[in-house]
Amino acid sequence: MLTRFAPSPTGYLHIGNVRTALLCYLYAKKEGGKFMLRLDDTDLERSTEEFAEGIKQDLEWLGINWDLTAKQSERMDSYKKAVEKLKADGRIYACYETAEELDIKRKMQRSRGKPPIYDREGLSLSDEQKAKFEEEGRKPHYRFLLEEKEISWVDEIRGEVHFPANHASDPIIIRESGDYTYMLPSTVDDIDFEVTHVLRGEDHVNNTAIQIQIFEALGGKIPTFIHNSLIKTKDGKLSKRTGSASLKDMREDLIEPMAINSFLAKVGTSDSIELRGSLEELINEFDIKKFNKSPTIYAIEDIERLNTKLLHEMDFAEAKERLEIEVDEDFWLAVRPNISSLKEVSDWWEICKEKIDPVIEDKDFAAEASELLPDGNWDENTWNDWIEKVKEKTGRKGKELFMPVRKALTGMEHGPELKVLLPLIGRERAIARLKGEAA
């Protein structure tokens, strides 16, 4: 078995891309096969080396390693040979309509209640007409001639799929600029590298139907196609605003890779979504038959829940390697039950161990509170004992009691629980802050 993940290096990977990559990887490894990373970088204007490296870094960070790799920009000779064969066999033809003319055609078809399918005008052009167009400065784009027959395949998730080719336009495979569209290079690569299983999103179903005819025209072996449902948020959208941050963002936020892997490997299946400790566990549990056709719902909170559980079970040795700052084990064990991201450890450290500017709203109240601070060793019970004494002495309660203390001790109106913070801040620093001193 050989599966492939084929992103275009025109941006950073988002959660939907990564799900496809992970499923391709898990499927191949479960079956004892190989996993290929192919960079579809034929869009030379938008593809960049920065994005290509970013894709590789994201996959490596998740633990997804590839057995072989390829770049479409380095395989142009293979695509040229395929075009020559298709031209010789009459399966590619030149068209000279401009984008504006094609748009007008589609609008006229819709106004008549007809589907906007290309009318194959290019097929009927004479050599003289083509020469005239080129004298006018027009450059041709090329379409693949579909055979008007039903296209069908057995999809490992969707079951039997039937697609009437006469309901589709002959696809453009070479643009006026001479650049290839997605259809041809992808098919040629799958043939040349002998890809056996193509697993991708359900938005590619129409592409699959067309590519099956290209496979046939080139004499290539047709792989098994699997189309998983697209991943969406509860409101039907998938955008950065609604929580589908790029993997780069998640990595910078110190979300743990296995929290992401554990969620993406199970969402859309009949399995419950639970934290797993390694990709090997997910490989052993992988079963393509468990995936369904229903929409797959994504919420960042689901990953955060798994991430929180993972962190709460993480020992100090592992955390130490991942933290951006140096902390001791006692500090880690104290804050561990109260974090949902490793990034929050830095926030706790800054509040507890770095100098801050306390906010003193009432000097007399702060002084009274300071005098009531207990001696001896502090733990999580110290806060409740102390604040009860402050309450009895000052008569304050609720927000009037807690908020001035929080602002004095942390310089903020919100943050981690004070019962955990107080022992980490320590008596000396707490006294100084209650006096309004930077400490």
Give tens-digit pLDDT for 316-353.
999 998 888 999 998 899 889 888 889 889 888 988 88
For residue 112, is pLDDT > 50?
yes
Which of 10, 14, 3, 7 has the alpha carbon at shortest distance from 246? Answer: 14
What letters, b where the CB count within 10 A reaches 16 and e where it falls short, cover 33-52? ebbbbbbbbbbeeebeeebb
The mean pLDDT value for 390-410 works out to 93
Annotate 262-298 with DSSP letters as a single string. Answer: HHHHHTTBSS-----S-HHHHHHH--GGGB-SSPEE-
Give dist(CA 88, CA 83) in Å, integer.
8
Equal fold, 78-174 vs 355-434? no
Two structure tokens written together for 326:
């140096």
Alpha helices in 219-362 (DSSP H): 247-252, 257-266, 279-285, 300-312, 316-322, 329-335, 343-353
Cα–Cα separations (whole angstroms), residue 199 to 21, 31, 202, 287: 9, 14, 9, 13
Write out pLDDT tens, residues 256-288: 999 999 999 999 998 999 999 999 999 999 999
The type of residue at 274 is E
User: Strand 172-174 relative to strand 141-144: parallel, antiparallel, unpaired?
Assistant: antiparallel
User: What is the reported pLDDT for 324?
Assistant: 84
User: What is the reported pLDDT for 240?
Assistant: 43
Write out pLDDT tens, residues 62-101: 999 999 999 999 999 999 999 999 999 999 999 999 999 9
**Angle (deg, nearest 10), helices 183-192 and 205-218:** 60
For residue 234, is pLDDT > 80?
no
Among the four given CATH numbers 3.40.1690.10, 3.40.630.30, 3.90.800.10, 3.30.70.2190, the one describing domain 78-174: 3.90.800.10
User: What is the reported pLDDT for 233?
Assistant: 79
pLDDT-above-90 percentage for the chain: 77
* CATH annotation of 355-434: 1.10.10.350
Write out pLDDT tens, residues 2-23: 999 999 999 999 898 999 999 9
Half-sphere exposure of 288 (CA within 13 A, CB side): 25
Cα–Cα separations (whole angstroms), residue 11 to 7, 52, 61: 9, 8, 17
Least confident span in 202-216, 246-260, 389-403: 246-260
Write out pLDDT tens, residues 168-212: 999 999 999 999 999 999 999 999 999 999 999 999 999 999 999
φ/ψ of 296, rounded to 5, equals: -100, 120
**Residue 241 pLDDT level (bands cut at 50, 70, 90):** very low
Two structure tokens written together for 367:
């002084």
Give dist(CA 171, CA 206) in Å, integer.
11
Give dist(CA 335, CA 417) in Å, integer.
10
User: What is the reported pLDDT for 8?
Assistant: 94
Write out pLDDT tens, residues 36-50: 999 999 888 889 999
User: What is the reported pLDDT for 330?
Assistant: 87
**Residue 29 pLDDT level (bands cut at 50, 70, 90):** very high
* CATH annotation of 1-69+229-313: 3.40.50.620
Residues 6+ apart with CB under 8 A from 227: 155, 157, 158, 199, 200, 201, 202, 204, 205, 208
DSSP 8-state class, residue 180: B
- Domain extent listing, the chain: 1-69+229-313, 78-174, 355-434
For residue 237, is pLDDT > 80?
no
User: What is the reported pLDDT for 244?
Assistant: 55
8 A C-beta contact, residue 14 and residue 150:
no
**Residue 238 pLDDT level (bands cut at 50, 70, 90):** low
This prediction has a pTM of: 0.86
Mean pLDDT score of the chain, rounded to an integer?
A: 92
Which of 180, 159, 233 has the alpha carbon at shortest distance from 8? Answer: 180
Cα–Cα separations (whole angstroms), residue 198 to 148, 225, 371: 24, 5, 71
